[in-house]
């Protein structure tokens, strides 16, 4: 069995396989997280944007109280939402989110996107995610990445987070942060699946010892269930589970297509955080480190690349395109 953690530049160990909390309903999140811990999960990937941090934290606290795990064995990742990029807001949000989890500290705090939106008081916030009002207005703000990054470093100085990193960033801004970072850029979380390989971006990160985490490892699967503006690109594309090469490789190793997709990443030291509300799949997604594919097989999966990105505010915010991936 290969190594099940990756060492972050901060010196902390991060599990290679975790559980993603996006779209896990608030009502069932505590129960789902508790069961995931029972199944062996130790890393939970949350965000202010997912609106279930408090409930996820409850599930973890219950598992600790029942003696299933200790706090030190658990790794929580959470993310700073775009409305809170200003220096003072970063610390305020980190404190607020840390309180929601109720676990003493955050293991990894990520800047969710490399773009700032206008501040919304979280106490009176009405609309989720990118939107400001009923009309679906999106308003950007002029906050430099450097200001946000330096405030995140203060989150570490204050003992609220142990490691910090970024998500949805491209090479240029990563190189830029590396020129002034006082605390290491520990992790980069990106959309990464065989339809969007981004091999050069993964190289940039790994050459700089930044641990890469893949999200949406199953590609279109996560997006077909969303409203039209998010699912349009995913609707007419073959599911990765059904592609010939993934199916053939799965058969050879007597694993499922989902396990092949997750192993394709972890075998290259890219962490994964699949999400499932189903107990059998949850167990299946964790059990992926026990086989190794050949480099030809890994290459044949990577050859499915189409540069097809599903999570793109330059696309799904048609009236306010924010083209961060241009």
Site residues (vs ligand NAD, CB under 6 A): 20-23, 45, 112, 167-168, 189, 215-218, 221-222, 225, 258, 273-276, 281, 284-285, 311
Pairing of strands 161-167, 106-111: parallel
Which one, 76 or 156, has the nearer CB to ligand NAD? 76
Query: Of residues 41, 48, 50, 195, which has the active-site annotation?
Result: 50
Residue 44, strand partner residues: 19, 76
Distance between CA atoms of residues 168 and 155, nearest Å: 20
Which one, 246 or 273, has the nearer CB to ligand NAD? 273
Provide the minimum distance between the beta carbon of 99 and ligand NAD in the complex, in angstroms, as a whole number. Answer: 20
Which one, 148 or 168, has the nearer CB to ligand NAD? 168
Provide the minimum distance between the beta carbon of 285 and ligand NAD in the complex, in angstroms, as a whole number. Answer: 5
Residue 215 belongs to what H/E stretch? strand 211-215
Distance between CA atoms of residues 123 and 118, nearest Å: 15
Distance between CA atoms of residues 259 and 255, nearest Å: 6
Which one, 143 or 273, has the nearer CB to ligand NAD? 273
Distance between CA atoms of residues 82 and 47, nearest Å: 11
Provide the minimum distance between the beta carbon of 242 and ligand NAD in the complex, in angstroms, as a whole number. Answer: 11
Query: Are the CB atoms for 205 and 166 separated by under 8 Å?
Result: no
The residue whose Cβ lies closest to ligand NAD is 20
Active site residue 50: yes
Backbone CA torsion sign across 135, 140, 186, 326: positive
Provide the minimum distance between the beta carbon of 254 and ligand NAD in the complex, in angstroms, as a whole number. Answer: 15
Distance in angstroms between the alpha carbons of the first and the last residue of the chain: 39
Number of H helices, E strands in the chain: 11, 10
Query: Are the CB atoms for 29 and 61 separated by under 8 Å?
Result: no
Which one, 109 or 218, has the nearer CB to ligand NAD? 218
Q: 141 CB contacts (<8 Å, ≥6 apart)?
A: 83, 85, 86, 116, 117, 118, 119
Q: Per the structure block, which two tokens stand in for 95?
A: 């404190």
Chain-centroid distance, C-alpha 33: 16
The label of the residue with tokens 């919304």 reads: 120
Provide the minimum distance between the beta carbon of 220 and ligand NAD in the complex, in angstroms, as a whole number. Answer: 9
Which one, 130 or 293, has the nearer CB to ligand NAD? 130
Provide the minimum distance between the beta carbon of 67 and ligand NAD in the complex, in angstroms, as a whole number. Answer: 27
Q: Which residues are catalytic?
A: 50
């Amino acid at each position: 069995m290969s190594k099940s953690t990756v060492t972050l530049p901060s010196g902390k160990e991060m599990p290679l396989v975790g559980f993603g909390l996006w779209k896990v309903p608030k009502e069932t999140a505590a129960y789902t997280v508790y069961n995931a811990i029972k199944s062996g999960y130790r890393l939970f990937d949350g965000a202010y944007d997912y609106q279930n941090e408090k409930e996820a934290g409850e599930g973890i606290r219950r598992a600790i109280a029942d003696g299933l795990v200790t706090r030190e064995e658990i790794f929580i990742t959470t993310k700073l939402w775009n409305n809170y990029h200003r220096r003072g807001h970063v610390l305020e949000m980190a404190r607020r989110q840390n309180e929601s989890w109720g676990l003493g500290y955050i293991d990894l705090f990520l800047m969710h996107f490399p773009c700032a939106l206008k501040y919304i008081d979280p106490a009176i916030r009405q609309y989720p995610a990118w939107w400001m009002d009923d009309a679906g207005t999106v308003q950007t703000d002029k906050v430099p990445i450097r200001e946000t990054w330096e405030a995140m470093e203060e989150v570490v100085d204050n003992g609220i987070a142990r490691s910090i990193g970024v998500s949805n960033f491209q090479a240029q801004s990563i190189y830029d942060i590396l020129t002034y970072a006082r605390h290491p850029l520990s992790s980069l979380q990106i959309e990464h699946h065989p339809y969007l390989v981004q091999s050069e971006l993964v190289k940039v990160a790994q050459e700089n010892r930044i641990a890469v985490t893949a999200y949406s490892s199953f590609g279109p699967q996560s997006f077909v269930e969303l409203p039209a503006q998010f699912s349009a690109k995913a609707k007419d594309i073959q599911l990765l589970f059904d592609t010939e090469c993934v199916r053939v490789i799965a058969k050879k190793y007597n694993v499922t297509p989902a396990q092949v997709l997750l192993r394709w990443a972890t075998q290259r030291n890219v962490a994964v955080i699949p999400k499932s509300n189903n107990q059998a799949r949850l167990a299946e997604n964790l059990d992926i480190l026990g086989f190794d594919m050949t480099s030809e097989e890994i290459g044949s999966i990577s050859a499915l690349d189409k540069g097809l990105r599903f999570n793109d505010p330059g696309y799904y915010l048609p009236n306010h395109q924010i083209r961060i991936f241009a």
